[in-house]
Structure 1
């Protein structure tokens, strides 16, 4: 058997749910005094699946704790059957987990679980994103006054923006801190959660509605600084520029923003 054919046969065996062994694969192997071929192949088959399940448990630890070992493994195994690993890096294994949950759980279960999957996957995306060139207070201090009105911004590459309708952050924190796991409940007022990486550490925080709207205008509607102040004037009146500068300073200190050049 050629090497390529042997590799394909071994791959087919690993991916086969029933662990059906290719005859040519078996014939190409030699057992040892304490381990026959069939047992050795079974160990590889189980170890491969076990490794994939370990990756999903690591990427979605809150869902794992929420569902428990047995139910999580059933869900994850069903996901792997439909979405076998197709990338050389296991980092992308859980990419479709959110959509799988949405499509394969009844609506009453899928909505909070889907939101949690999106939250946990956002931490993975934030951690692996390029560093970018976040603005600093020092760099902002060098701007000339004439540059401020038309100043525009864009998010750092790691910034993830989530709309949470459930208490997903509370569940995630309880799993992270190994505290008592609360019940999943819908929020009276949905919130915006930001997740990003700064200095190799993933950060998160939720935003009140007014701040979320201001940051959304800045990043998603391409407001410049003067347009931000004009929008805030509706709420804050003459205090709009001060509020704009206060939030802008916070966003820059958090490491959320890059300068947008046109």
Structure 2
């Protein structure tokens, strides 16, 4: 048996408990391999427990453990670091709890906060740099830590309560869907729910960085005066939250 074949059999034993692979790897001592599989699965369980503490609290121990075991059975690690193992857990939760969007959004929040914390550094745009900006040609750059997704539930309120060891509110659908945004401000990962207008503006700027076209979009939606005022308010809020790290003129 070549080393590559032995390694493949050992991986098969770890990930799906292949008895045939175990016999090829360990021969008569194959029963002793169980200690490696237990350690392997134990580390993956600890990884997901550490990555999703609020999902664990919301679901309860039994339901969360069932979801974790299901995920481990179907999704072996795919990267060199265990930090990446948490990324696909939300997909498993979507399959297991198809009628609980609050669970899906809560899992996204926890994962996005962790991703934002280790994202590339970028300095927020200093306010004195705005004096010379040609806003008709300005293109805005957001912090590389920015993450976003649609919001349909009060998952952000649930996360805030659970993180503070408080009683969470009842899960409910939002009257008007909006968006969830996560980013890092200095050394703190931040979470905010935004309304549909701000979320649409963020998506527009990520696709087309032009501030002028954003103003045009908002004027079309709200009228001349209200559209320009909304664009100015959004820009001020993003600058104050340190979401914008660059303005370029083209």
TM-score (norm 2): 0.82
Shift in Å at residue 230 of structure 1? Answer: 7.6
Q: Which runs of 5+ in 1 are unaligned?
A: 30-36
* Contact 2:125/2:239 (8 A) holds in 1: yes
Whether 1:198 and 2:194 are equivalent positions in the alignment is no
Contact kept in structure 1, 2:214 and 2:231, CA below 8 Å: no
**Shift in alpha-carbon separation, 1:160–1:178, aligned structure 2, 3 A:** same
Note closer, same or farther for the CA distance 1:167–1:238 as it changes in structure 2 (3 Å cut).
Answer: closer
User: How far apart are residue 174 of structure 1 and its match?
Assistant: 1.9
Residues 119, 144 of structure 2: 8 Å contact kept? yes
- The separation in 1 between residues aligned to 2:34 and 2:221, in whole angstroms, is 68
User: 1:88 — aligned with what?
Assistant: 80
Aligned to 1:121: 111
Question: Which secondary structure state, in structure 1, belongs to the residue aligned with residue 111 of structure 2?
Answer: helix
Compute the displacement of 1:237 (Å): 5.1
Q: Which runs of 5+ in 2 are unaligned?
A: none
| 1:122–1:195 Cα contact (<8 Å) kept | yes
For residues 32-181 of structure 1, the aligned pairs below 5 Å read: 38=31, 41-105=33-97, 107-109=98-100, 111-132=101-122, 134-141=124-131, 143=132, 147-181=134-168
SS in structure 1 at match of 2:136: coil
CA distance in 2, matches of 1:88, 1:261: 40
Please say if residues 59 and 121 of structure 1, whose CA atoms lie closer than 8 Å, have aligned partners that are also in contact: yes
Distance 1:9 1:216, change over 3 A: closer
In 1, distance between residues paired with 2:168 and 2:242?
31
Give, in whole Å, the separation in 2 of the partners of 1:16 and 1:239: 59
Q: Confirm whether residue 259 of structure 1 aligns to residue 247 of structure 2.
A: yes
C-alpha change, 1:209 and 1:14, in structure 2 (3 Å) is: closer
Do the aligned partners of 1:19 and 1:42 also contact (CA within 8 Å) in 2?
Answer: no
Contact 1:228 1:244 in 2 (8 A): yes
SS of 1:114's partner is: helix
Determine if contact 1:162/1:193 at 8 Å carries over to the other structure.
yes
CA-to-partner distance for each residue in 1:105-157, whole Å, 9 max, x for gaps? 3x323x3322222222222332232224542213224x25xx22221213222
The aligned residue for residue 33 of structure 1 is: none
Question: Bigger CA drift: 18-27 or 163-172?
Answer: 18-27
Deviations 1:180-227 (A, max 9, x none): 133211122223221001223211222244444444444444442475
Q: In structure 2, do the counterparts of structure 1 residues 149 and 94 end up closer, same or farther at CA, with 3 Å as the change threshold? A: same
Query: Could you list the per-position Cα deviations for residues 33-52 of structure 1 after superposition, in whole angstroms to 9, with x for gaps in the alignment?
Result: xxxx845x433321210110
Q: Could you tell me which residue of structure 1 aligns to residue 11 of structure 2?
A: 11
